[in-house]
Structure 1
Amino acid sequence: MIDTASVRAADAGAPSARMGRSAWGRIAICIVLALPAVVFRLSGFAPNPVVDLLVFGGAVVAASFLLAWAAEAAQKDISGALAIAILALIAVLPEYAVDLYYAFRSGYDPSYEQFAAANMTGSNRLLLGFGWPLVVVISLLVARRYVRAGTLPRTATRVLQLEQSSRLDIGFLALLAVVAFLIPLMGSIPLWFGFVLLAAFVAYLWRASQAPDDGDDEEMVGMAGNIASMPQRTRRWTIVALFVVAAAVILSSAEPFAEALVASGSALGIDSYFLVQWLAPLATEAPEFIVAALFALRGMGGAAIGTLIASKVNQWSLLVGSLPIAHVLGGGTSGGLPLDGRQVEEFVLTASQTVLGVAIIIALRFHRWSAIALVALFAVQFVVTDTSGRWVLSGVHVVAALVVLWINRRDVVPTLRAPFRRAVAAGDA
């Protein structure tokens, strides 16, 4: 872990008022970007699908940034299990709003069943195949400065060391990744299975709230740090206002944005499934990637990758568990959300990639070659787009995961036990 004391010391002297003005300016930019969507929504103006996509997509991105800043800055005033629950739900709102709309719509319009889980599989693979390697590469590049200064060993430029607290998240992600293979075997996401996944999410929050405090107050960086530096009263009102405004923009833009994605595919001659699976996640995941990258640039790579691991846990538990419930509420059968052949393949590919990701980080070390391998395998899926290609790529993920798990076999049992232990010792491996 890179020592950030010098960074904190350099930032400590910045005047609060100045940082407050900077924060207000960036907040204003996001609000201005979201305003056209509000006007479109209230007036019912919809010139064409592509324009709608740009307007409402821009609003979702802008609101996602507001949520990310406010959620991180809120940690200054909220602590404990309540903070974990609130922040976990807030952070996933943009992605969930779009995906749950498709699941709800599929309840009374079967043509939307193909899109119900598309956003989830896309964002899940984007997070691991691009987000994780991005953080690792930035962290290793930053480490070079410390190696040249003689404060870190040369191995710090090749391996990112994860924090011990990540063991709990990795343990939950490992269990969820294995359970995820039941979905393609069942050919659907049954309603009862959705409640099981929601229970797993609650258990995850409960166990995370019991983890002992390591005593270190992580430095807030970027806009979250700017907001946190405001006077207490101004800061709290700003955070509440950001939550309300961002949530209102996202909830009002989710439906037209989701519809515009589907309609734009036909208008542009692009596969609508492709747009739903990849364009929507790019919009909703961008703020999270930027926040994680800022942590990595500050020499806090372990904390950065930890936030992205937690996001994977949220996706496999809260998001997937909510899909069959939204489908039933939309008028679907009580059996749950049905999956067609394409969706089954996508779930297998996503689950197998997750297993590989778990295998890579199970020893709390992220090697440079592992990041390169993840990016390469992520890129291959855009070249091999047929059914056999997806199955072969899934098999490659599983085989590679088994090899890496064998190499790191001593860490398998401690990781699988982590979600069930009452306490997580600071030095426990």
Structure 2
Amino acid sequence: MLKTLSKAWKIEETRSKIIFTLLMLLIYRIGSNIPVPGIDRAYLAQMFSGETGLFDLFDLFSGGAFSNFTIFALSITPYITASIIVQLLTVAFPYFERLAKEGAEGRKKMAQITRYMSVVLALIQAIGLTIGLFRKAIINPNAFTMITIIVILTAGSTFLMWLGEEINDKGVGNGISLLIFGGIVARIPTMIRGLSVKIKGGELSIIAIIAIVIISILIVMVVIEMQQGVRKIPVQYAKRVVGRKMYGGQSTHIPMKVNQAGVIPIIFALSLLQFPLTITYFFPGTKFTDFVTKYLSPSGNPGVWVYAVLNVMLIMMFTYFYTIITFNPKEVADQMRANGGFIPGIRPGMATIEYLSRIMSRLCLAGGIFLAAVATLPTIINQFTPLNNLAFGGTSLLIMVGVALDTVQQLENQMLMRNYQGFLK
């Protein structure tokens, strides 16, 4: 990775893209520290002093901007939600399915729909947060102040969506993913400061810190192996004679990733599991709150075990669900058959579909177990060790490693394309 970055920095065009990307991330971090006007900071700090349920996920993606209620408090979560909705609509509605198959023009139309939906969702979330959750934190809650805050939050989220697309066009890597990556990395100093306080207070020893570093390195290695893991399905194309020329006859493969679903199953499962915790925030001191805290909260007893079991079950379910959406064995088999391709030893048609489905199910099982372990183990560690205030856990680590690998891969592809262009000239 360092070798790739070093080579990319020596190329003027690539260096300009890297600098542009870093400047956009700097703008994002500056905006994440500009507070929304008219907010009582002391009350805001009190609000986020304990369990905050689903808001932990929002705060993770915003790099702390949500808990500080800055102009980027909504982060790019409306855009992520809109993207997921549009992807699901391609399965449920023929119109979106047709757009997905129309190539560049269809993708352009879907991207436009996603933008409009993102703005609408940002507006709805801004209204809900301003009138609902943060209402008591507003110093002077009149109509003008409310409208001002709603407009600022909506504009901030829309600006981040534009910022991500600018990085896609003029920078390096996926802009939206890099914004999430920047927010997570920005929390590392907070984690280091928390660990130093624990060491000074005698809660942690130097040996424990060394063990944490070693375990973290091992986890990163496992995450990289699983993220890069691919099952290659061999495909042979038959020879065809067209006129006086012969086509086909080459061998290739279908790359099926072990973790095809990425981090999406963890996000979906986390959203569902922490929804009851979010509801308890609005009803403090009730029997419902006591029940959820004891039986469904990762800090409760036996809630931590119930939470862990439900987390594993939901992640496995969403892994299968999202993989089926992104990889359709029937479509792949039909495309191979139309182009004269076949899997050696497997008959074209239904036999190929069943073979691909069987391989996909096995990979889903391995990928689901991996995601469940990454998401669940930090919860148990936080509960039974002094490391209960770490700034990020398994989900953050998976996002960071995935984005880093994807960005380096894009850099390598750009340099490879540049070498091809130079050779052709």
| TM-based fold match above 0.5 | no
* Length-normalised TM-score, structure 1: 0.30
Higher relative contact order (CA 8 A, sep 6+): 1
TM-score (norm 2): 0.30
